[in-house]
């Protein structure tokens, strides 16, 4: 009886091996942008996409500004439509150019930390609003 169970388990494992291989092949990373929620998100400004690695902290700061602004806007308006959640990058880029573009690296890193704290503070409330709209 015990040997029959072992044989059955071995047969099951062998029969599933091709399934695992197919599933693994489907997990190949891609550079294509595709999103389940709000698929028509605006692309980052070209200068951010082309920024050198040595200046990537500038891109990160704009991304952090964008995220904080968007989460706070969702909470303020109580709306999580795609235009509110993923607006154009103009406002975040404007804040960066006005306040931070000429700053030193360490100042930008400090600012990123502040925007991350703001985003995290708004995240729970924004997520609840977006979950209710099936848009998270």
The 10s digit of each residue's pLDDT in 83-98 is 999 999 999 999 999 9
C-alpha Rg value of the chain to the nearest Å: 23
Q: Is the pLDDT of residue 111 over 80?
A: yes
Does residue 24 lie within any of the structural domains?
no
First-last CA distance in the chain? 51
Assigned domain for 93 exists: yes
In a domain, 18, yes or no: no
pLDDT in tens, 29-50: 555 667 888 999 999 999 999 9
> Into how many domains does the chain fold?
1
Closest CA to 68 of 46, 98, 104, 95: 95
Which residues are CB-contacts of 98 (< 8 A; sequence separation ≥ 6)? none
Residue 55 lies in a domain: yes
Is 79 within a domain?
yes
Range of the domain at 81: 46-132
- Which residues make Cβ contacts (< 8 Å) with residue 104, sequence separation at least 6? none
Within-domain flag for 57:
yes
Residue 30 lies in a domain: no
pLDDT band (50, 70, 90) for residue 119: very high
Q: What is the spatial distance between Cα 97 and Cα 47, in angstroms, rounded to a whole number?
A: 13
Contacts of 1 (CB under 8 A, 6+ apart): none
pLDDT reported for residue 27: 60
Q: For residue 94, is it within any domain?
A: yes
The model's pTM is 0.75
């Amino acid at each position: 009886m015990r040997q029959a169970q072992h044989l059955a388990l071995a047969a099951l494992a062998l029969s599933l091996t091709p399934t695992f291989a197919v599933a693994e092949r489907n997990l190949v990373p891609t550079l294509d942008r595709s999103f389940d929620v709000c698929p028509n998100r605006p692309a980052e400004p070209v200068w951010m996409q082309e920024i050198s690695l040595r200046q990537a902290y500038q891109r990160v700061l704009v991304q952090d500004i964008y995220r904080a602004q968007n989460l706070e806007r969702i909470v303020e308006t109580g709306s999580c439509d795609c235009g509110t959640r993923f607006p154009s990058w103009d406002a975040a880029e404007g804040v960066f150019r006005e306040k931070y573009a000429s700053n030193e690296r360490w100042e930008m890193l400090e600012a990123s930390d502040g925007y991350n704290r703001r985003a995290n503070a708004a995240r729970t409330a924004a997520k609840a609003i977006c979950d209710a709209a099936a848009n998270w």
